[in-house]
Amino acid sequence: MVLAVLGSQLTGEERCDLAAALPDRARAVFAAQVPLPEPVAAPAFVEAVARVLNTSLTAARWDTSSVLAGDHLTDRLLADLPRGYALLFGRADLTIAA
């Protein structure tokens, strides 16, 4: 169900690429979600996952961290989401120096 909540956060090419990389059943859950005009902040994402899974915020963070594998597509997805999502998906939340 993390994919269902994530499906509401992504738009554009990255959304299509992630959908294409998912197995059929997961793709259907992900694609069924209507994207929001703007993705919510990472804490609100975790709260949404916790609500959908009827679980604690700690469990929702854990469930979120197990969804995306570490690859180039994940980097692209995280680049389109607000700051804080990288940590949720097991990545360092680094900013590029100006």
Look at residue 77 and tell me whether its pLDDT is greater than 70: yes
- Euclidean distance between CA atoms 98 and 95, whole angstroms: 9
Count how many domains the chain has: 1
Domain membership flag for residue 97? no
Residue 67 structural domain: 2-88
Domain membership flag for residue 34? yes
Domain membership flag for residue 40? yes
DSSP state, residue 67: T
Domain membership flag for residue 83? yes
**What band does 80 get if pLDDT is binned at 50, 70 and 90?**
confident
Mean pLDDT of 59-76: 79
- Euclidean distance between CA atoms 83 and 1, whole angstroms: 22
Report pTM. Answer: 0.75
**What band does 95 get if pLDDT is binned at 50, 70 and 90?**
low
Domain membership flag for residue 95? no
